[in-house]
């Protein structure tokens, strides 16, 4: 009997419809400049390969009454832009089933508009960067003219280790009836041409949809893009306070617009509108909320804090490095030097240690703390401030090692029509299963 129940449950689970990845586009008008605005919604990752491994990336979305805005950050170590075929250049392809009809016969169907847009990582020698496949032939539109119109609404930037594409899709001028609350069937594919060998890798957001049939099969799109009425929350300055005991000041809570000296040339995971490199990090950085990285000689950031009570306070810094040589920090309060840390241990970019810096008397009220990086060659994730001071000669404190890999998440069977995610485990025939319901908006 147990065996029969197990077989029936397995059969039931296999027949459940698969739910796409949910992505939200807040309503906001975006400046098309290749710099990611705070107003974009949360990103989704593009990391599941069709076959061979290759380029990966992230995608963000927003919308207003005229455009869908898209922003892509692609990690690609083998840039190739010159193949004769558009689709065999490094590129990002975008698929829109505008009314989420999942109708695979869309070639002449105005009721089920279906678009495939392709943005190459850079213009090739003939200046061409964009191509399109849209089922608009039956609508009487000029494919060539409209393609040029859409193509003019994109920006591409080559950066260290990959490229950035920002685009806006002018849906309104084509009479598409979408707006707040609309759910658009979508998908994104990163095509990778490695060593000028043609397309060698394709990467998708959803592991259940990597067949590369999206160009002709709306039912195989892996993303549901919801146009939200709520704008994405902008970063707001926290009320940094130094009180009794130990206070932790996160590196990424630096004052907006006040820093130096070199323009940012790495990730901006946490404060994309600022010209300071930030990333989510791991280990101690993951615990406190990220780190500042890609630090150059002479760079600095500052923090405006409110001190509860006048007195002596000790400063230490959480820093990490994998550079040769490693770097250190100097801390100032106003124009007074608190001290300088020793140079970071060389253990890895996310292997943080707490280095003593120095003691200083602080007045009650507002104080400005400046952290200077004399030589670069380090990551910085936090300051620790201790009321009463610290032993500056104390040993360096090493944080627990950052995990090499994240533990695998439980396998989820995703249901769309019921709007419920089931994690099933059955303690039958030696099989252990757990169950949980999650509301899908």
100 lies in the same domain as 181 = yes
- Residue 340: CB partners within 8 Å, gap ≥ 6? 328, 329, 330, 331, 357, 358, 374
390 lies in the same domain as 435 = no
202 lies in the same domain as 263 = no
Look at the chain and count its residues.
441
- Closest Cα partner for 50 from 203, 198, 251? 203
372 lies in the same domain as 305 = yes
Inside any domain, residue 233: no
59 lies in the same domain as 158 = yes
Last residue of a domain, one of 171, 202, 227: 227
Q: What confidence tens digit (pLDDT) does each residue in 330-377 have?
A: 999 999 999 999 999 999 999 999 999 999 999 999 999 999 999 989
Q: What CATH code is carried by the domain that includes residue 72?
A: 2.60.40.1190
**Greater model confidence, 166 or 150:** 166
- In angstroms, the CA 376 to CA 294 distance is 8
Q: Mean pLDDT across the chain, nearest whole number?
A: 80
pLDDT at site 438: 27
Q: What confidence tens digit (pLDDT) does each residue in 176-214 have?
A: 889 999 999 999 999 998 877 778 889 999 998 887 888
Q: What CATH code is carried by the domain that includes residue 320?
A: 2.60.120.260
Inside any domain, residue 332: yes
Inside any domain, residue 232: no
Q: What confidence tens digit (pLDDT) does each residue in 291-339 have?
A: 999 999 999 999 999 999 999 999 999 999 999 999 999 999 999 999 9
* Residue whose pair of structure tokens reads 């990730």 in the numeric block: 267
Secondary element (H or E) of residue 184: strand 183-193
205 lies in the same domain as 322 = no
pLDDT of 418 > 90? The answer is no
To the nearest 10°, the Cα dihedral for 332, 333, 334, 340? -10
Q: What confidence tens digit (pLDDT) does each residue in 394-408 have?
A: 888 887 876 654 433
Question: Structurally, how many domains does the chain consist of?
Answer: 3
- In angstroms, the CA 369 to CA 305 distance is 7
Q: What angle do CA 324, 329, 334 make, to 5 degrees?
A: 160
pLDDT at site 235: 64
Q: Which domain holds residue 432?
A: 1-17+415-441
Inside any domain, residue 408: no
- In angstroms, the CA 210 to CA 205 distance is 8
Last residue of a domain, one of 227, 257, 281: 227
46 lies in the same domain as 164 = yes
269 lies in the same domain as 352 = yes
Inside any domain, residue 345: yes
104 lies in the same domain as 128 = yes
76 lies in the same domain as 132 = yes
- In angstroms, the CA 409 to CA 405 distance is 12
Average pLDDT over residues 42-63: 92
215 lies in the same domain as 339 = no
Q: What confidence tens digit (pLDDT) does each residue in 84-104 have?
A: 777 788 899 999 999 998 887
Inside any domain, residue 404: no
User: CB-based burial of residue 400 (10 Å sphere; 0-12 exposed, 13-18 middle, 19+ buried)?
Assistant: exposed
**Does pTM top 0.85 for this prediction?**
no
pLDDT at site 134: 61
**Greater model confidence, 135 or 115:** 115
216 lies in the same domain as 87 = yes
- In angstroms, the CA 96 to CA 1 distance is 47
User: CB-based burial of residue 146 (10 Å sphere; 0-12 exposed, 13-18 middle, 19+ buried)?
Assistant: middle
Inside any domain, residue 406: no
* Residue whose pair of structure tokens reads 């280790």 in the numeric block: 161
The two tokens of residue 278 are 């930030």
pLDDT at site 158: 87
Inside any domain, residue 255: yes
The verdict on whether omega for the bond into residue 39 sits within 30 degrees of 0, i.e. cis, is: no
Last residue of a domain, one of 227, 256, 291: 227
């Amino acid at each position: 009997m147990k065996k029969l129940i197990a077989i029936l449950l397995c059969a039931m689970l296999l027949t459940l419809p698969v739910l796409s990845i949910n992505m939200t586009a807040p309503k906001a008008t975006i400046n098309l400049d290749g710099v990611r605005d705070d107003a974009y919604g949360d990103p989704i990752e593009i990391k599941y390969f069709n076959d061979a491994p290759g380029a990966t990336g992230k995608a963000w979305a927003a919308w207003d009454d005229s455009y869908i805005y898209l922003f892509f950050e692609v990690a690609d170590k083998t840039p190739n832009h010159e193949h004769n075929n558009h689709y065999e250049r490094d590129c990002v392809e975008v698929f829109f089933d505008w009314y989420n009809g999942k109708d695979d016969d869309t070639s002449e169907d105005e009721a089920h508009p279906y678009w495939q847009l392709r943005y190459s990582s850079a213009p090739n020698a003939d200046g061409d960067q964009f191509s399109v496949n849209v089922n608009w032939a039956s609508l009487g539109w000029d494919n060539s003219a409209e393609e040029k119109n859409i193509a003019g609404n994109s920006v591409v930037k080559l950066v260290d280790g990959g490229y950035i594409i920002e685009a806006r899709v002018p849906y309104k001028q084509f009479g598409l009836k979408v707006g707040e609350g609309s759910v658009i069937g979508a998908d994104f594919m990163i095509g990778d041409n490695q060593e000028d060998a043609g397309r060698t890798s394709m990467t998708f957001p959803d592991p259940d949809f990597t067949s590369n049939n999206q160009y002709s099969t709306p039912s195989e799109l892996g993303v549901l893009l919801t146009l939200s009425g709520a704008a994405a929350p902008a970063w707001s300055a926290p009320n940094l306070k130094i009180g009794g005991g130990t206070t932790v000041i996160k590196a990424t809570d630096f004052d907006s617009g006040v820093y130096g000296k070199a323009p940012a040339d790495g990730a901006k995971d946490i404060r994309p509108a600022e010209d300071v490199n930030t990333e989510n990090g791991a280990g101690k950085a993951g615990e406190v909320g990220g780190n500042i990285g890609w630090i150059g000689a002479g760079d600095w950031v500052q923090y405006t804090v409110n001190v509860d009570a006048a007195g002596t306070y000790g400063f230490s810094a959480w820093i990490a490095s994998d550079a040769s040589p490693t770097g250190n920090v100097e801390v100032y309060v106003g124009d007074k030097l608190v001290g300088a840390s020793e140079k970071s241990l060389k253990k890895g970019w996310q292997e943080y240690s707490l280095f003593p810096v120095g003691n200083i008397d602080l007045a009650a009220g507002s104080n400005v703390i400046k952290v200077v990086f004399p030589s670069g060659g380090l990551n910085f994730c936090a300051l620790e401030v201790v009321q009463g001071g610290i032993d500056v000669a104390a040993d360096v404190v090493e944080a627990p090692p950052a995990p090499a890999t994240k533990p695998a998440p439980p396998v989820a069977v995703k249901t769309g029509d019921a709007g419920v995610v089931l994690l099933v485990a059955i303690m039958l025939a030696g099989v252990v299963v757990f169950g949980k319901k999650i509301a899908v908006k």
